[in-house]
Amino acid sequence: MQPAPYICCMFDSINSYLTRCSPVTGEELEYFDSLLEYKKVAKKTTLLHEGDICNFEAYIIKGCIRTYYIDEKGIEVTLQFAIEDWWVSDIASFHDHKPSSMFIETLEDCELFIINPSTKELLLSKIPKLERVFRLMVQRNLSVLQSRLFTTIATSAKDKYLDFINRYPTIPQRVAQHYIASYLGISPEFLSKTRTRLSKK
Amino acid sequence: MQPAPYICCMFDSINSYLTRCSPVTGEELEYFDSLLEYKKVAKKTTLLHEGDICNFEAYIIKGCIRTYYIDEKGIEVTLQFAIEDWWVSDIASFHDHKPSSMFIETLEDCELFIINPSTKELLLSKIPKLERVFRLMVQRNLSVLQSRLFTTIATSAKDKYLDFINRYPTIPQRVAQHYIASYLGISPEFLSKTRTRLSKK
DNA sequence: TTGTTTTCTTGTCCTGGTTCAATGCCCGGC
DNA sequence: GCCGGGCATTGAACCAGGACAAGAAAACAA
């Protein structure tokens, strides 16, 4: 067995993320890492509140985060669950410096890498290649969301749930069930009923 | 009245689109234009069929196009209506050269500018600035879709419809009502009932 | 350990929206 | 200028899923 090329360090996961997206040199990687801010955040912390301007993009080293909206009646709609090796942000707010209409909240104790708008600018101007990486990230995001919209509109609660646990098999073990209901767009009670009906068959 | 700075030509609209997104020089614009393929397409033409690999991004000079999915039961879900000054494509399929799961169809006679994957590559390598333009396009797309998902999940058919005509006031005059229903995720019959209820008040 | 809070389950009743079918309408083709 | 096919409308029956309430079970704090 070959020795590992690098000693395991906290940058490993994000660096491997990056190299998977685009061929970057060692120096570029080093520069990238040098601009990252490391942050530990406790469970149940709200990282972004509706009305705030989102000044971060966070890469999750460890933990679980959800982003959600709240409507006038107080109903929550979960937009995304993010776990290890994912990015979280409100890009629209981050990019245009305008107030966000969503919330971002940790569901577990988290370790994050943070970049803010100015470090992102710096990064992009120094390593233009990254423009592409970020574009690909957003593109992937978009196509996932497109297929989710389709599922949301076209399928029953049961099928939405089955699709969810199929797509994200590890999430149900990590987050409360009523969050999943709010992701699927159904009531927590009905999700519970759907689950028992499924397990009886 | 001042004379127009340029004679009106078919590139005007797309060039103004581009300059709105990013500061580009005259030469860059010219190069960009030189790579565009102009195309006329008749009403009711399917530009992309489920299973095909999408080999175009189309800018609409004139006309109206919709993109949609079809589920197993044959129910259509309209993902997008696109009119003048919009882009249409299945980016995921276009970019990764993989089979698309959507349809793209003209609803009116259309005039388009087309770029294919290789011209896009060429464009991006010659004018790296465009990376950013395309990223912004996708980002805007994403945040529109996010808020649509929210509306779809959290609001009633009536409110979804009101939101739609508020956001896209010109669309209802141009496309058949049952397409709008399929965009909102409700049955054509119920949209009709909702509309009559609204007009009675 | 115990008390407190949050989450999950289950039942009953209710409603927004669907399905199906019938009717009328408008628009395009010949 | 008329005929035919897609659209919109309306009504009646139906149903997936919501709202509310009450209890059980976890999760957590002290």
pLDDT at residue B65 is higher than 70: yes
Distance of CA B16 to the CA centre of its chain: 17
pLDDT at residue B96 is higher than 90: yes
pLDDT at residue A201, rounded to an integer: 65
pLDDT at residue B7, rounded to an integer: 59
pLDDT at residue A71, rounded to an integer: 87
Residue A175 or residue B10, greater confidence = A175
pLDDT at residue A21, rounded to an integer: 84
pLDDT at residue A3 is higher than 60: no
Average pLDDT for A44-53: 96
Let me know if B110 is exposed, middle or buried by CB neighbors in 10 A (0-12, 13-18, 19+). buried
φ and ψ of B53, to 5 deg: -95, 125
pLDDT at residue A105, rounded to an integer: 96
pLDDT at residue A9, rounded to an integer: 84
In this prediction the pTM is 0.92
pLDDT at residue A53 is higher than 70: yes
> B187-196 contacts: CB < 8 A, separation 24 or more?
B190/B157, B191/B157, B191/B161, B194/B157, B194/B158, B194/B161, B195/B161
Question: Using a CB-CB distance cutoff of 8 angstroms, which residues of chain B are in contact with residue A132?
Answer: 131
pLDDT at residue A128, rounded to an integer: 87
Q: Which residue of A has its CA nearest to B153?
A: A185
Residue B24 or residue B52, greater confidence = B52
pLDDT at residue A70 is higher than 60: yes
What is the Cα–Cα distance from B102 to B79, expressed in whole angstroms?
Answer: 9
The band of B10, judged by pLDDT with boundaries at 50, 70 and 90, is: confident
Q: What is the pLDDT of residues A81-135, one digit of tens each?
A: 999 999 999 999 999 999 999 999 999 999 999 999 999 999 999 998 898 889 9
φ and ψ of B128, to 5 deg: -55, -25
pLDDT at residue B23, rounded to an integer: 87
Q: CA of A3 to nearest chain B CA: how many angstroms apart? A: 34
The band of B21, judged by pLDDT with boundaries at 50, 70 and 90, is: confident
The band of B74, judged by pLDDT with boundaries at 50, 70 and 90, is: confident
Nucleotides of D under 7 A from a protein CB: 7-12, 16-21
Q: What is the pLDDT of residues B163-200, one digit of tens each?
A: 999 999 999 999 999 999 999 999 999 999 999 999 87
pLDDT at residue B5 is higher than 80: no
> A183-186 contacts: CB < 8 A, separation 24 or more?
A183/A77, A183/A78, A183/A79, A183/A81, A184/A152, A184/A157, A184/A160, A185/A77, A185/A152, A185/A160, A185/B152, A185/B153, A185/B154, A186/A157, A186/A160
Nucleotides of C under 7 A from a protein CB: 6-11, 16-21
pLDDT at residue A129, rounded to an integer: 86
Q: CA of A86 to nearest chain B CA: how many angstroms apart? A: 17
pLDDT at residue B132, rounded to an integer: 87
Average pLDDT, chain A: 93
Q: How far is the CA of B149 from the C1' of C28 (A)?
A: 37
Residue B73 or residue B115, greater confidence = B115
pLDDT at residue A5, rounded to an integer: 53
Q: Which residue of B has its CA nearest to A77?
A: B150
Q: What is the pLDDT of residues B105-126, one digit of tens each?
A: 999 999 999 999 999 999 999 9
Q: Which residue is nearest to nucleotide C17 (CA to C1')?
A: B190
Percent of chain A residues topping a pLDDT of 90 = 82
Average pLDDT, chain B: 93
Q: What is the pLDDT of residues A121-156, one digit of tens each?
A: 999 999 988 988 899 899 999 999 999 999 999 999
pLDDT at residue A72 is higher than 90: no
Work out if B174's Cβ lies within 7 angstroms of strand C. no
pLDDT at residue A7 is higher than 90: no
What the block records as the tokens of A18 is: 């990056």
